[in-house]
Amino acid sequence: MAISVLRGTHRLRFSPPWLARSSEASAFYNPQGRECYGIQSRFPELGPTVTAFKAGHLQSEPLDLRSKSGVAQCGFGLNRGRFSSTCVGRSLHITCPGVRRASTSAAAEAGTSQGPDPADGSLEDVEGVTVKHRFVSNGGQRLHYVEAGDPGGQLAVLLHGWPSFWYCWVYQLKPLVEAGYHVVIPDMRGYNLSDKPSNLADSGRYNLSDQPRNLADFGREPCLSDIKLLIEKSSGGRPANLIAHDWGGAIAWHFVRSYPHLVSRLVTLNIPETSTFNDALEHNKEQRKKSWYIAFFQIPFLPEWLLSRNNYKGLQIALKGSKPRTEELLRRHVDAFSRPGALTASINYYRAGGRGHWAPAGDPPGRVELPVKVIWGEDDVALGKELAAPPKELVPNHEVVFLPGVSHWCMWDDPERVSAEILDFLAKDVS
């Protein structure tokens, strides 16, 4: 299966190897078992034209994308090679499997169990550390976070990436708390227990004509305001230590440029500095190949369907690394992403980036003067090692540590080393 994404006169074409080898291609058969030729999006609300191709002959019959269990389905079809569905005025309604909870049978098979949501102030023991679940409102959106440790200690705010949530930092909680830090870890907006902006958290039906409004909710300013609120609420007027992985790291780079007075040190894990990554996407052919999923995620609903089918098997594959994952870690992630709207909300960060909500035109990156440490697992399949070091002219006070034999999920693959590197950096005298 090959995917092409067209933007103006530029075409990015790629063939995701995990799709080509897997049975996911069966999603492109109609109920009669005949193969369809392709799907094209022609809705201006979606931004760039998106086309998915597969060898075969053109079909004009409705295309029924349905999982074997019959739970996940959508109403899209093919009409002379174009995307079609039932439209009422400018409203296009679809049933999106990405915003459904895991089925009871699938959840039982994987050992998942979504109990009642924790109340504000409730306590939970996590790997020998007592964490408190908290909720705070920001502009009408409820943000969930956990905190642990001494409230009078230095604040350490940890930001997760995709596809994860606060539990991403389970192995760093105890070392930071024992070192005396006040640890705060949010579910980024749209993830897990945090609100899903706009109308994503319903029973699984949403309106594609709302996409521009939805995506703006996942842009730079709303996300940075969430972090600003947490730091101001928890820091007691002192700057915080910011520790971030993947998309959380991308947000952190924006944050330290917008609010440098709120951060004392920055630690990033397997995420390039903003301008470094943008340059790589433009000039580095190998990195463009590795970043194929960014273009794939611009397609509406299809990524959600592929990641969520078979009890979120695609999601669990994305969490693989150089070390086996515990059943508890995988169970919690399936639970978090099977919440209504959570999977679509998480992918909407990529869609928002593809429509300019994270890098508005004419906004050059500023210098970052505060101390920065980059921790980088060398076996990252999505990001090349050459992207690790930020430009010296933009980030003059930085250091880079490479971890051989460690994947993108370095805080899981080598938790002791990652925790030690973080604590060593935070304890340095930088006066």
Question: Which class for 42: exposed (0-12), middle (13-18), buried (19 or more C-beta within 10 A)?
Answer: exposed
- For residue 68, the enclosing domain spans 2-85
Segment holding 41, helix H or strand E: none
Give 274-279 contacts, CB < 8 A, sequence gap 24+. Answer: 274/250, 274/359, 274/365, 275/365, 275/391, 275/394, 276/387, 276/389, 276/390, 276/391, 277/250, 277/387, 278/359
C-alpha Rg value of the chain to the nearest Å: 21
DSSP class of residue 157 equals E
Do 135 and 241 share a structural domain? yes
What is the predicted pLDDT for the residue at 265? 98
Active site residue 408: yes
So what's the pLDDT on residue 355? 87
81 and 113 co-located in one domain: no
**326 pLDDT above the threshold of 50:** yes
Quote the mean pLDDT of the chain: 76
Answer yes or no: 350 catalytic. yes
Q: Which is the catalytic residue, given 181, 191, 312, 350?
A: 350
What's the chain's length in residues?
Answer: 431
More confident residue, 253 or 75: 253
Q: pLDDT digits over 211-227, tens only?
A: 656 788 999 999 999 99
Match 């998106």 to its residue by tokens: 50
The rounded distance, in Å, linking the Cα atoms of 140 and 242 is: 25
Name residue 348's amino acid. N
Residues 60, 123 share a domain: no
∠ CA 125-415-189, nearest 5°, is: 60
135: CB partners within 8 A, 6+ apart: 120, 142, 143, 144, 145, 193
Whether this model's pTM surpasses 0.85: no
pLDDT exceeds cutoff 90 at 40: no
Same domain, 241 and 196: yes
In a domain, 99, yes or no: no
d(CA 192, CA 146): 12
Pair (125, 71) in one structural domain: no
98 within some domain: no
Q: How far is it, in rounded angstroms, from Cα 132 to Cα 391? A: 38
228 and 152 part of one domain = yes
In the predicted structure, residue 173 carries a pLDDT above the cut 70: yes
**Least confident residue range of 43-52, 86-95, 306-315, 340-349:** 86-95
Q: Is residue 96 part of a domain?
A: no
Whether residue 311 has pLDDT greater than 60: yes
Q: What confidence category does residue 116 fall into, taking pLDDT thresholds of 50, 70 and 90?
A: confident
pLDDT band at 9; cut points 50, 70, 90: very low
In the sheet that holds 129-138, the strands lie side by side as 123-126, 129-138, 141-148, 182-186, 155-159, 240-245, 263-269, 372-377, 398-403
Which of the following is catalytic: 217, 246, 380, 414? Answer: 246
Beta bridge partners of 77: 84
Are 419 and 387 contained in the same domain? yes
CATH of the domain at 202: 3.40.50.1820
Same-domain status, 70 and 218: no
The pLDDT, as a whole number, for residue 105 is 34
Query: Structure tokens of 43?
Result: 């809705």
Average of per-residue pLDDT across 39-67: 32
Residues 202 and 73 grouped into a single domain: no
Tell me whether residue 171 is in a domain. Answer: yes
Tell which residue, 251, 125, 236, 242, has the closest CA to residue 188: 251
Are both 284 and 137 inside the same structural domain?
yes
Catalytic residue among 357, 408, 413, 414: 408
User: Is the same domain home to 126 and 81?
Assistant: no
Cβ count within 10 A of residue 16: 16
Report yes or no: 316 and 330 within 8 Å, Cβ to Cβ. Answer: yes
What is the domain count for the chain? 2
**% pLDDT > 90, the chain:** 63
Tell me, yes or no, whether 76 lies in a domain. Answer: yes
